[in-house]
Amino acid sequence: MTERADQTMLRVENAGRDFDVSRPWLNRVIEGEPRRSLRAVDKVSFSIRKGDTLGLVGESGCGKSTVARMIVGLYPPSRGRIVFDGADLADPVSAPLRRRMQMIFQDPYASLNPRWRVSAIVAEPLVAQGLGGDNAALAARVAELLGQVGLAREDGDKYPHEFSGGQRQRISIARALSSNPEFLICDEPTSALDVSVQAQILNLMKDLQNRLGLTYLFISHNLAVVAHIATRVGVMYLGNLVEINDAKQLFEQPRHPYTRMLIDAIPDLQMTGKARIPVAGEVPNPLDPPAGCAFHPRCPHANARCRRERPELLALGSGGAAACHAVAEGRLGQ
């Protein structure tokens, strides 16, 4: 079955990204240091169907934002490939496809130019891509976009500092929608907002998805937010995808110990008294990752094989996949 036949919008295949973190050349020569490389993302594979939302979760520094930046082309992949609507994005011929994807950044205070009026900010992608038309058409399009996100036409004459955090994120969403994209990458778009405002932005994004037929990659470290918006969830740890499944299945029956740890960290408002296994320790240094499974120093189920052999992402009976020897050997139960 081809990508178009099964309606796959995006497919990431064994993608990886390394960064050179070596000290300056003279320091290395004097102190006899070799070059150092940071493997930020390694062997990440997933797909997103048209109209769906994949939530990508994990602790800070696990590689979520690096994956997002590889997809939009800010970082070229060091390994693997990224296929968008059947075309490899590394192929120069596929460059026009990038117009069909846009990104919403985490901090609405930093992602908007404070010296520009809102109308110029929202119109920038249209002007850059030659889609705006004359001044009247451009102004009408900006007013339409502001209306789509719950702002008024008159707000286009203001500057970003005149808006609240939630309103600024609405401006960011309007800018992302200006070129009529089909695929939006949302890099923690609600993490800098108050909880009540987070709910408004999430509801707006779901409404826009339903009305415009959008596909989302939604990145967050907040599982409660992901549970509200995602149809499928991938869990990352130290640059690797350790579990992926439908959102309902993953939250009701998490398989990987790290996924269980993240879900156990969500406050239990119902006071169910369910037993929870605390996981101690910190995320390892990515410059010196542990051998075998990267999670084994913190995992209560680790054995000698976990410390020696890196697990592969294997299919589960539920339709998802997990990279865990304990899951593959049935040592975790259900």
pLDDT per position as a tens digit, 268-311? 666 566 666 656 678 888 888 899 999 999 998 899 999 999 99
> From CA 190, how far away is CA 21, in angstroms rounded?
30
What does pTM read for this prediction? 0.88
| Any domain includes 308 | yes
By C-alpha distance, which of 173, 172, 168, 9 is closest to 89? Answer: 9
User: Comparing 96-110, 203-217, 231-245, which segment has the lowest mean pLDDT?
Assistant: 96-110
Task: Report the share of the chain in percent with pLDDT over 70.
Answer: 93
| Any domain includes 265 | yes
- Provide the pLDDT for residue 51: 93
User: Comparing 24-33, 210-219, 286-295, which segment has the lowest mean pLDDT?
Assistant: 24-33
Over residues 213-233, the mean pLDDT reads 92
> From CA 29, how far away is CA 58, in angstroms rounded?
38
pLDDT interval class at 134 (50, 70, 90): confident
By C-alpha distance, which of 155, 182, 154 is closest to 171? Answer: 155
- Provide the pLDDT for residue 47: 94
Q: Is 81 exposed, middle or buried (0-12, 13-18, 19+ CB in 10 A)?
A: middle
Over residues 115-125, the mean pLDDT reads 93
Range of the domain at 314: 259-334
pLDDT interval class at 5 (50, 70, 90): very low
- Provide the pLDDT for residue 309: 94
| Any domain includes 280 | yes
Any residues with CB less than 8 A from the CB of 279 and at least 6 apart, and which?
Answer: 257, 258, 261, 298, 299, 300
User: Comparing 56-60, 122-126, 267-271, 293-297, which segment has the lowest mean pLDDT?
Assistant: 267-271
By C-alpha distance, which of 78, 11, 9 is closest to 40? Answer: 78
Q: What is the number of domains present in the chain?
A: 1
- Provide the pLDDT for residue 79: 94
| Any domain includes 332 | yes
Q: Which residue has the tokens 């929870």?
A: 276
By C-alpha distance, which of 183, 161, 181, 180 is closest to 171? Answer: 161
| Any domain includes 99 | no
Q: Can you state the angle between helices 118-128 and 165-177, rounded to 10 degrees?
A: 20
Over residues 247-271, the mean pLDDT reads 84
- Provide the pLDDT for residue 272: 61
Is the confidence at residue 190, as pLDDT, over 90?
no
Contact 186, 216 (CB under 8 A): yes
| Any domain includes 89 | no
pLDDT interval class at 130 (50, 70, 90): confident
| Any domain includes 201 | no
pLDDT interval class at 3 (50, 70, 90): very low
- Provide the pLDDT for residue 222: 85
| Any domain includes 146 | no
